[in-house]
Amino acid sequence: MKSYTELLGWSGLAVGVFGKLRGRKIRHRVDRPDCRHPLWLRLPSSDLDAYRQVFVDHEYAFKVEREPRVIVDAGANIGLASLYFANRYPGARIIAIEPERHNFDTLCANVRAYPNITPLRAALWNRDEAIDLVDPGLGDWGFMTDGGGASADLRHRRFDVVPGMTVDRLMKDHGIACIDILKMDIEGAEREVFLDPSPWIGKVNAMIVELHERLKTGCEDNFHRGAAGFDRQWRRGENVYVSHAGFMAPVV
């Protein structure tokens, strides 16, 4: 409970305790001086951990040498990274992609006041096809997608079907010629996305990717092979950053 008071004050603690006693998640409004509009967290849930990562630990902090015009937030969850980007780069167009229905509903509530953020209920994949959504029991930020190769245990945990799409298809559908920042936190689906990134990787200036080798063997190999053409690479928090020279650099 200490985390609630540290991050959200006594009102956040009260909502978290009430939700726990009632056995359901309750939306809690958060007002931040660095956000133009209030945001919403579901308490109790992994939303609090995601909030800490984005707004307290600043895992998406970096320096840009020119302002990004297009940002894709894949695995947007409830949209916190999209909000972080939108308030720092208000001129950027942001596509926020999230497959899970309840996460997506909260994402839409969070980005409604930002006309430059487009929410999209889908999942990045290596083919344009319907794919299964799986709940491995990791909380609201841990849903996985499966195109048929999941273990028998995970196959029993399928609970929805969502549109899977390639990065190339996403760009064509939304009229995007170049992605300045491609952020991915897609719970192991990066293995499939980076199987053959050749149709789109040359149209991306920088990427921020959380790798989930513990969930799917091959995530790291596929990513590093696909990202070999970038000039810079560094780590911050759980994320690997890559960038072409002259675009993005780490903060000290």
Q: Which residues of the chain have pLDDT under 50?
A: none
What's the pTM? 0.92
| Domain ranges for the chain | 58-249
pLDDT value of position 149: 57
pLDDT tens digits for range 214-248: 988 999 999 999 999 999 999 999 999 999 999 99
What number does CATH give the domain 58-249?
A: 3.40.50.150
Two tokens, residue 41:
């967290």
Beta carbons within 10 angstroms of residue 143's beta carbon: 26
pLDDT tens digits for range 19-53: 888 888 999 999 999 999 999 999 999 999 999 99
Cα separation, 216 vs 208, in Å, equals 18
DSSP assignment string, 127-157: SSEEEEEE--SS-TT--EEESS---HHHHTT
Cα separation, 115 vs 218, in Å, equals 37
